[in-house]
């Protein structure tokens, strides 16, 4: 047995499936998981010393790459003063100012410890403010493991959702409607029927959790119009797109403003941080200013805030978005050429520094399209790339991420390894 296997078998003795989040078990790609010892720039190294070009990048937070010197320096400074006080600290004030100034739809922000926690809190706020209990999400979008959003589409379009996992009472699932992504008609039909009962709509403005799927022209605009017309709160889940698509996230990118924004990943720079942000009319309803309760021992933790603040400051100063887009376009075009040369049909959906290679023909514009992908072929592709020193997300329904550390040299090296992997398919 080699170190990865030995360590992972110990992990399985003490943690369910050996992991603290299911996707890390590499089940859907039928591959033995690796155990990572360190990350640096665009690379990670496993416990056996194998080095990989990393396109998973911890599922999105590391837009500056692993162990960025400025982030490490600021975190080290913060840590020396202690790890947590449970009382307001200067770091959370600074990063709150940074987030609010980046998001023109926000006057205030509340930090929590994960995207899930932010989603849960924002939906409670929407229900509390509107006095309504129904919510709407889209099939294939993922908003963390909160009961109300861990649900699957029911049978018909306007019927209630069903629990996405055992342990969620159907009474809870039945308060959620699940619609097809990018389907304006389904949206209009539901709002005409139940608009007055809907507290909020939560959407990934660019989907990342069915693989990358872009909003069709008019989809976000229709969402904005209908929610305004019926008094429902529009929640943009920007856990992935926030500070990644642009400094102002998808809202800046598309010029559509949500009522509440969910943030995570990049705003923690790799440390556990989530947040929800919105205008004063909504945020002043949150305790202790308002009556809608939400709390957390480690929310606004100084070390996590220092990590996120350093990340945002580097992004604001360097504005790497155009360059990230250029490099991602180059990489996806080269990967596509390699797959075409091998006679493998595929579709690449890309925006900014995030993309997905779907092993299916034709457009992928919703979850049903994405599910047409050849998952067996994806698993083989994953395995061949891993063997050749490239780590991509261990699921067809996730996004590859570039960071500012993925410079042209890294991409050249990555493409050589990807070419070898594809040749072995
Ligand atoms: P967390 O609770 O995992 O911090 O955030 C939940 C979440 C909310 N919204 C969106 C759009 C998200 O993508 C996520 C989490 N993303 C997944 C994978 N894309 C995290 C990976 C995992 O579950 O281990």
Do the beta carbons of residue 52 and residue 40 sit within 8 Å? no
What is the share, in percent, of the chain residues with pLDDT greater than 90?
A: 97
Please give the distance, rounded to the nearest whole angstrom, from the Cα atom of residue 204 to the centre of ligand 1: 11
d(CA 250, CA 247): 9
Task: Check if 139 has its Cβ closer than 6 Å to any atom of ligand 1.
Answer: no
Asked whether residue 157 carries a pLDDT value surpassing 60, the answer given is no
Task: Check if 121 has its Cβ closer than 6 Å to any atom of ligand 1.
Answer: no
Closest Cα partner for 2 from 27, 40, 33?
33
pLDDT tens readout for residues 196-232 = 999 999 999 999 999 999 999 999 999 999 999 999 9
Residues 35-41: contacts with CB within 8 Å, 24+ apart?
35/3, 35/4, 35/7, 35/8, 35/11, 38/66, 38/67, 39/66, 39/67, 40/65, 40/66, 40/67, 41/65, 41/66, 41/67, 41/405, 41/410
Do the beta carbons of residue 103 and residue 248 sit within 8 Å? yes
- Angle (CA) 299 303 309, round 5°: 90
d(CA 76, CA 92): 16
Beta bridge pairs of residue 178: 137
Which residue puts its alpha carbon closest to atom 5 of ligand 1?
115
Which residue puts its alpha carbon closest to atom 19 of ligand 1?
209
Q: Give the pLDDT band (50/70/90) at residue 188.
A: very high
pLDDT tens readout for residues 54-108 = 999 999 999 999 999 999 999 999 999 999 999 999 999 999 999 999 999 999 9
Catalytic site includes residue 265: yes
- Which domains does the chain show, CATH number per domain? 3-55+320-423 (3.90.1150.10), 69-318 (3.40.640.10)
Query: Which atom of ligand 1 has the smallest separation from the CA of 238?
Result: 11
């Amino acid at each position: 047995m080699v170190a990865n296997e030995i360590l992972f078998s110990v992990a399985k003795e003490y943690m369910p499936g050996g992991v603290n989040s299911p996707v890390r078990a590499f089940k859907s790609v039928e591959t033995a998981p690796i155990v990572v010892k360190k990350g640096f720039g665009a690379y990670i190294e496993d416990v056996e010393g194998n080095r990989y070009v990393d396109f998973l990048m911890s599922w999105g937070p590391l837009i500056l790459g692993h162990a960025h010197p400025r982030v490490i320096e600021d975190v080290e400074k913060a840590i020396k003063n202690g790890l947590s006080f449970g009382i307001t600290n200067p770091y959370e004030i600074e990063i709150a100012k940074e987030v609010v100034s980046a998001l023109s739809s926000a006057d205030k922000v509340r930090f929590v410890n994960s995207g899930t926690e932010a989603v849960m809190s924002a939906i409670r706020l929407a229900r509390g403010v509107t006095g309504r209990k129904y919510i709407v999400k889209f099939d294939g979008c993922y908003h963390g493991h909160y009961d109300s959003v861990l649900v699957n589409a029911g049978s018909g379009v306007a019927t209630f959702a069903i629990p996405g996992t055992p342990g969620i009472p159907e009474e809870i699932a039945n308060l959620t409607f699940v619609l097809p992504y990018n389907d304006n008609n389904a949206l209009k039909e539901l709002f005409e029927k139940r608009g007055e009962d809907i507290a909020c709509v939560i959407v990934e403005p660019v989907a990342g959790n069915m693989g990358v799927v872009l909003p069709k022209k008019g989809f976000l605009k229709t969402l904005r119009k209908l929610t305004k017309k019926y008094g429902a709160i529009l929640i943009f889940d920007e856990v992935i797109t926030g500070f990644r698509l642009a400094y102002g996230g998808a809202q800046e990118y598309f010029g559509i403003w949500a009522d509440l924004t969910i943030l995570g990943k990049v705003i923690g720079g790799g440390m556990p941080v989530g947040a929800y942000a919105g205008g004063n009319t909504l945020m002043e309803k949150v305790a202790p200013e308002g009556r809608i309760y939400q709390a957390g021992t480690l929310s606004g933790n100084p070390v996590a805030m220092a990590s996120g603040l350093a990340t945002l400051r580097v992004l604001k100063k360097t504005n790497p978005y155009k360059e990230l887009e250029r490099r991602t376009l180059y990489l996806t075009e080269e990967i596509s050429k390699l797959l075409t040369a091998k006679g493998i049909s595929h579709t690449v959906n890309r925006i900014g520094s995030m993309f997905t290679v779907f092993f299916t023909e034709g457009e992928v514009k919703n979850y049903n399209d994405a599910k047409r992908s050849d998952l067996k072929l994806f698993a083989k592709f994953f395995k061949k790339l891993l063997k050749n020193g490239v780590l991509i997300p261990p699921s067809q329904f996730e996004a590859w991420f570039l960071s500012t550390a993925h410079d042209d040299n890294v991409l050249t090296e990555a493409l050589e390894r990807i070419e070898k992997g594809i040749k072995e398919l």
